[in-house]
Amino acid sequence: MSSLDSLLNRQRVVCQLHAVSKKRVLELIAQHIAEAEGSLEVGQVYTGLLERERLGSTALGTGVAVPHCRVPGLDKPLGCLITLASPIDYDAPDGEPVDLLFVLLVPPDAAQEHLDLLAEVAGRFSDAGYCKGLRQAASVTSLLESAVAAKAA
């Protein structure tokens, strides 16, 4: 099983992204991931994330969402960590707007790994101190350092 630590890199961390809606943030995330990963197409990632959201919101509550989907052609899971400049409505179960997202993309045949990674993400993002540290980051470097430092603790 992959650890979340191995899913992140500097190219897949976005600090203070400007977006005004769930649909727009998913579109921007898809563009960002496709640019960082030359083998992925924007439309493929966006469609996968949007289709998953149509099944039900991936917001966890307390300002956190974990958009995720399976992507054909992907050979290993990858993640993207994003903070938003302003919280957006995300149809969260607690009604709170979202400002912290962890996007998870997995290969189509990685069902158990997908579930295991989602559980790990949910566990880490249920820690208020961990989320606070991420929200306080003012740059990609500090956001990545906060994520890794908190994971190591």
- 114 given a catalytic annotation: no
Look up the CATH number of the domain holding residue 100. Answer: 3.40.930.10
pLDDT (0 to 100) of residue 8: 86
Catalytic residue (choose from 18, 32, 68, 114)? 68
The residue range of the domain holding 142 is 4-152
pLDDT tens digit string along 2-24? 476 788 889 999 999 999 999 99
Query: In this structure, is the dihedral angle defined by the CA atoms of residues 35, 36, 37 and 38, taken in order, positive or negative?
Result: positive
Tell which residue, 149, 108, 147, has the closest CA to residue 7.
147
- As for how many domains the chain has, the answer is 1
pLDDT tens digit string along 31-85? 999 999 988 999 999 999 999 999 999 999 999 999 999 999 898 999 999 999 9
Could you tell me the pTM of the whole model?
A: 0.92
pLDDT (0 to 100) of residue 148: 78
